[in-house]
Amino acid sequence: MTAHAAARAGSRSLGGARRPRLTVDVAPGIHQLEHGFVNSYLVTEGDSVTLVDTGLPTTWPHLVAALGHLGRQVGDIHAVVLTHAHFDHLGVADRLRRQGTPVWLHPGDRKIARHPYRYAHERARLAYPLAYPAARPLLAGMARAGALWVRGVEATVDLATSGEVDVPGRPSVVFSPGHTDGHTALHFPGRGALLSGDALVTLDPYTGGRGPQIVAGAATADSEQALASLRALAATDAALVLPGHGTVWRQGIASAVERALATGAH
Angle (CA) 202-205-211 rounded to 5° is: 20
In the set 34, 53, 88, 204, which binds Zn ion (CB under 5 A)?
88
Q: Which lies closer to Zn ion via its Cβ, residue 35 or residue 86?
A: 86
Q: Candidates 9-17, 50-58, 133-141, 196-204: pick the segment binding Zn ion (CB under 5 A).
A: 196-204
Q: Least distance from C-beta 72 to Zn ion, angstroms? A: 25
CA–CA dist 154, 144 (Å, integer): 25
Q: Which lies closer to Zn ion via its Cβ, residue 169 or residue 244?
A: 244
Q: Least distance from C-beta 219 to Zn ion, angstroms? A: 5
Contact track, Zn ion, 145-184, x by CB under 5 A: ----------------------------------------
Asked if 187 interacts with Zn ion (CB under 5 A), we say no
Q: Candidates 49-57, 146-154, 167-175, 194-202: pick the segment binding Zn ion (CB under 5 A).
A: 194-202
Q: Least distance from C-beta 139 to Zn ion, angstroms? A: 12
Q: Which lies closer to Zn ion via its Cβ, residue 199 or residue 257?
A: 199
| Amino acid occupying residue 115 | H
CA–CA dist 200, 211 (Å, integer): 10
User: Could you give the residue ranges of the DSSP H alpha helices within 9-163?
Assistant: 60-69, 93-98, 110-114, 127-131, 136-144
Q: Which lies closer to Zn ion via its Cβ, residue 94 or residue 198?
A: 198
Question: H or E element: which one contains 225?
Answer: helix 223-234
Q: Do 78 and 44 meet the contact criterion of CB atoms below 8 Å apart?
A: no
Asked if 86 interacts with Zn ion (CB under 5 A), we say yes
Q: Which lies closer to Zn ion via its Cβ, residue 88 or residue 222?
A: 88
Q: Which lies closer to Zn ion via its Cβ, residue 2 or residue 222?
A: 222
The end-to-end CA distance of the chain, in Å, is 36
Alpha carbons within 13 angstroms on the beta-carbon side of residue 75 total: 0
Per DSSP bridges, beta strands 184-188 and 77-81 are unpaired
Asked if 198 interacts with Zn ion (CB under 5 A), we say yes
CA–CA dist 66, 8 (Å, integer): 10
Q: From 176, 210, 181, select the one nearest 194 (Cα to Cα).
A: 176
Asked if 94 interacts with Zn ion (CB under 5 A), we say no
Count of residues binding Zn ion (CB under 5 A)?
4
Q: From 159, 163, 142, select the one nearest 85 (Cα to Cα).
A: 159
Q: Do 156 and 36 meet the contact criterion of CB atoms below 8 Å apart?
A: no
The number of beta carbons lying within 10 Å of the beta carbon of residue 47 is 12
Q: Candidates 29-37, 106-114, 159-167, 191-199: pick the segment binding Zn ion (CB under 5 A).
A: 191-199
| Amino acid occupying residue 177 | P
Asked if 53 interacts with Zn ion (CB under 5 A), we say no
Asked if 34 interacts with Zn ion (CB under 5 A), we say no
Contact track, Zn ion, 243-262, x by CB under 5 A: -x------------------
Asked if 204 interacts with Zn ion (CB under 5 A), we say no
Residues that bind Zn ion (CB under 5 A): 86, 88, 198, 244
